Chains A and B, each alone.
Chain A
Amino acid sequence: MTDIIQILILGLALGGVIALMGSGLALVFGVMRIVNLAHPSLIIAGAYIAYWGAKLTGIDPIVMLPVAAAIMAGIGVLMYRLVFEREARNAKYSEMTVLLTFALAMIVEGVLGGLFTNTQRVTSPGYATDAFFLGDLFIPKGQLYAGLISLVIIGALSLFLKYSRLGYAIRATTQNREAAELLGVNVNLISVLAFAIGIGLAGAAGSLVSFVFSFFPAKHWEWIAMLMSVVVLGGMGSILGTVVAALLLSVIAAFVGTWVGATWSTMTFFLALFVILLIRPQGLFGEKPEMA
């Protein structure tokens, strides 16, 4: 029984971080129908900001979180203006963004590789290798802090979306872009803002990831399938769905990793992606796709 609780705790803590990693992806898809394959590479860019902040100035990666989020949000605005805005009314926009973001992922990887080489990095604050002990159970402090901070950020995002005027505008644009425009929402501005928040979340996730996982520029290829399976299971565009799916899949992956083997842990996400697409393509909280 203790083993099961232990695995559950580890899975949930990691699930929180994965939820934050996926929430930006879900938000960007929900509002703009951009399938952002570059999202994990931008998380890695955020991780490098936290890493170099810690390495050069000794600043804790958690303290670097708002800095990484702000820098990445700024990069998000530039990316949107330069790459996505001019094609926003194209009928094949969503399909095009798959190719565009695939290219962007490779560019970001190339730039990061050129700047920082492909050496594996990890930030090492004291808590990253420490743990809380509760009887026979242990909770790694790094994972716990990262998981809790992720859930706090997602909670704040949800409150912002639910109650603020901008949040209303973002939700409305997500559900019916044309209707939002007709009611006075400047949907172009909202799109830029939502994209900036989405990429800012990637920056925030990067800061936390920097002490939870080791990373290098090409690591994003491993993460994209994991994040896509979380976002697809949750229901493309649903942040609540993303959180539920991340926690669920992380816990399953933790059990698989312990009982079957670590190599199979990652397979959980791949397998989940196939199964979801076959059985319930709209995910847990998504809309059932209309038949053509």
Chain B
Amino acid sequence: MSELLQVTNITAGYGDGPAILDGAHLTVEPGKVHCIIGPNGAGKSTLLKAICGMLTIRKGDVVFKGKRLNGLRPDQILRAGICFVPQERALFPKMTVRENLRMGGFVLDDQRELERRIGEILERFPILKERADQQAGTMSGGQQQTLAMARTLIIKPDIVMLDEPSLGLAPKVVQEMFDIMKMMSAEGVTVLLVEQNALIGLKNSDWGVVLDLGRTLFEGPASTVLSDPRIQELYLGGKKAA
């Protein structure tokens, strides 16, 4: 297995507070969709924040394409090829859709190339093209999430990390988000997903990671995680995967 990202027994927390992650590990393979599940407070979002440089890693290592990321700033990690969409979508509400996309390519120096890529994204996502000059804050939750996910594609990252993309969305819209995610994966973008709805998350993923109390309990193919009776009992509410 040739891993793209390797997280090894990391300890991390907020400021000087207690460690939220303590012994979390993760292996990310290129081109696959990985879903992190676990109960509230397990440290799922904290793990993504630690990988993207928003939190200081106190112990352990995060290695991406053979390069250690510990201590790098979020902008440096983004330039390395890891993009993160947090729970609250991280849009700029008073900027238009087009301006938000332009911010998505902030790290690109070639402005002509940036405009070309924005054009490409607008062609691929007609709803964004329709609303290119609308302020992002005035769009619906689903449209905002589409924008947040589409925006990551501007820099053509290796890994996109999504923190609960389905949060607050109607079921029909949730499936649209997972369809976009699958499209990203089909194009070779590796996806690392945190999903509170473990069943739907795992069903749309290749690899599952179970996190609890800040440490990784289990990781393996999503189908294996889905069919494991202990996981079903503890994290899937006893539901059997169809």
Contacts and interface: CB of A to CB of B under 8 A. Distances in A.
A291 interface: no
Interface stretch (B1-9, B72-80, B195-203): B72-80
Contact of A186 (B75, B102, B111): B75
Contacts of A181: 54, 73-75
Contact of A185 (B15, B52, B106): B106
Given A168-B99, A182-B84, A184-B78, A175 B106 contact: no
B162 to A, nearest CB: 12
Nearest to A186: B75
* Secondary structure call for the A interface: helix
Contacts, number: 62
Interface in B91-135: 91-95, 99, 102-104, 106-107, 111
B86 A178 contact: yes
B107 A168 contact: no
Given A168-B99, A178-B86, A184 B94 contact: no
A186 B78 contact: no
B74 A168 contact: no
Nearest to A169: B106
Nearest to A189: B75
A183 interface: yes
Contacts of A197: none
Among B93, B99, B103: residue with most chain A CB under 10 A = B103
Nearest to B83: A182
A176 interface: yes
Interface of A: 89, 165, 168-169, 171-172, 175-176, 178-186
- Rank and list the top 10 A-B pairs by shortest CB-CB distance, nearest first: A179-B90, A184-B107, A184-B75, A175-B92, A184-B78, A184-B106, A181-B74, A183-B106, A172-B103, A172-B92
Interface of B: 15, 52, 54, 73-75, 78-79, 83-84, 86, 90-95, 99, 102-104, 106-107, 111, 151
20 contacts: A165-B106, A168-B99, A169-B106, A171-B95, A172-B92, A172-B103, A172-B106, A176-B93, A178-B90, A180-B103, A181-B75, A182-B52, A182-B54, A182-B74, A182-B83, A182-B84, A183-B78, A184-B75, A185-B75, A185-B106
